[in-house]
A and B are shown apart, each in its own frame.
Chain A
Amino acid sequence: MGLDVELEGFSGPLDVLCHLVESGGISVAGISVTQLIRVYSDFLMKNERATINEMAAFFSLIARLLLGKLKALLPPSPGEEQSEVDGGSEAELVESVLERYRPYRAAAAALTGMMQARGRSFTRGGSEEGPPWFDLGDLYSLSMVWWEMVRRRREGAGTSPAVLEEDWDGIPTVTPEEEQVEKRMGEIDKLLSSKGSLQMSEVFGPIFSRQAFVVTFLALLEMARLGRVHLVQEVLFGDVRLSR
């Protein structure tokens, strides 16, 4: 998890930076990107749970910093201004980021006004429901989890499919689908009661029949819908934890 600093009235660090620069609170040239990165990298080093995203963002910042530094170290080309040397490139970097950001900031402000104006009129409420949403996100996120499991299953099946297929005493084909799902839900319920929480790989690990695989997935979705299980993916691309 990242460090969340909530500043009342600001939507993010660039919003704060824009405000400070525009209000004359700080000069763009005075912003040391180096120092910003040093502080942030210290934070990342101390935080043992830095995610892939955070590390990627960090490396991106480092790369941009190095580019800026290289530009500053190289002798200016004949046409270039001398000011490049004393931190000019860093200031330019910050300024270009802010320049690109400002129109969107203005757009967000205009959207606020539009939403307020529209909010003064009410339409007929109704059975309008939002899009389906699960603990793991929308349907797209769910499909990603599904395909990842299918991939793992295929990889696993390549090693010893026949033996494991027989191990699954499973669900008879003649049983209606709903009953199979209900039965599987009961089994997962029992597992959760005994263990407290489970990894999704533990639930799907021993399954090598396609039908059982689908039934288990449906059972999990139904349980999530009914609030009988919470599905949490703690780490990007990681396993999914099942808990009550």
Chain B
Amino acid sequence: MSGYRGENPLSPIARSVEAVLFVAVQPVGVKELASVTGSTEEIVAGALEEIKERYRNCHGLRLLNIAGGWSMATSPEQEEVVALFRDVALSQRVRLSKAALETLAVVAYSQPATRSEIEEIRGVRSERVLDTLLRHGLIKVAGRRRGSGTPLLYRTTDSFLSLFGLNSISDLPTLEEMQDILPDGEVPDEEGRDT
């Protein structure tokens, strides 16, 4: 309680936005927030900044701009505590193998991509791993390519953006930038593999 003393209270619109985000299961777009709260997108953007600032200082929460919208999430500092709470960790942590991540990377950067294009780049059959990614909802079938065989085309989904903390696919660094970030293609330690 004492942590709030001396701080300016949130504006009415920021309180409304906070309340909506509190009950939302999926990320909520600025447009929808503006519509629900009966204000403009600019005002909502200001309210979001206000909430972000408040959370930054004295909260166990944060706002995430993911999959084209805003989501209320726990702050990274609370990771251990939240992970211990019931089965949050089990239900929310998707564990992907290196093969799955590599396939996702190919789909993300080459979408829409066919299975044979993915396999051509990876040099290995990817049928099973594509099934796993479809099952996790990280990719989706986005039609068929015209031409011989009319193969299925795959695209990443909003769940993919959400899992990697991206607002849109254009937030991904380009492949050239990737090379600069990780010149040797070194992979950080993995937590586990299940696919």
Contacts and interface: CB of A to CB of B under 8 A. Distances in A.
B92 A125 contact: yes
Secondary structure class of chain A's binding surface, majority of residues: helix
A107 to B, nearest CB: 4
A120 B164 CA distance: 11
B140 interface: yes
B98 A9 contact: yes
A111 B101 contact: yes
B46 interface: no
Contact of A108 (B88, B91, B105): B105
A108 B98 CA distance: 8
A101 B26 contact: no
B82 to A, nearest CB: 5
Contacts of B159: 130
Contacts, number: 163
Contact of A12 (B62, B79, B122, B173): B122
B71 interface: yes
Interface residues of B, number: 68
A57 interface: yes
Contacts of A178: none
A128 interface: yes
A29 B101 CA distance: 29
Interface string B2-31: 000000000000000000001011100000
A11 B125 CA distance: 11
A121 B164 CA distance: 11
Nearest to A12: B124
Contacts of A104: 102, 105-106, 109, 121-122, 175
Contacts of A14: 122-124
B113 to A, nearest CB: 11
A115 B108 CA distance: 14
Interface in B76-122: 76, 79, 82-83, 88, 91-94, 96-99, 101-102, 104-106, 108-109, 119, 121-122
B188 A101 contact: no
A239 B187 CA distance: 42
A114 interface: yes
Interface string A1-30: 010000001111111011000100000000
Given A53-B125, A104-B121, A121-B64, A11 B102 contact: yes
A138 interface: yes
Contact of B72 (A9, A109, A120, A123): A123
B185 A115 contact: no
A57 B119 contact: yes
A168 B94 CA distance: 48
25 contacts: A9-B98, A14-B124, A53-B127, A100-B121, A104-B109, A105-B185, A106-B179, A106-B182, A111-B164, A112-B101, A116-B188, A118-B164, A120-B76, A120-B79, A121-B75, A122-B73, A122-B79, A123-B71, A123-B162, A124-B24, A125-B25, A131-B140, A138-B141, A140-B141, A140-B152
Interface of B: 22, 24-26, 62, 64, 66, 71-76, 79, 82-83, 88, 91-94, 96-99, 101-102, 104-106, 108-109, 119, 121-125, 127, 131, 134-137, 140-141, 152, 159, 162-166, 172-173, 175-176, 178-179, 181-182, 184-188, 190-191
Given A108-B105, A112-B190, 8 more contacts: A2-B125, A9-B98, A104-B105, A107-B109, A110-B181, A124-B24, A124-B25, A137-B131
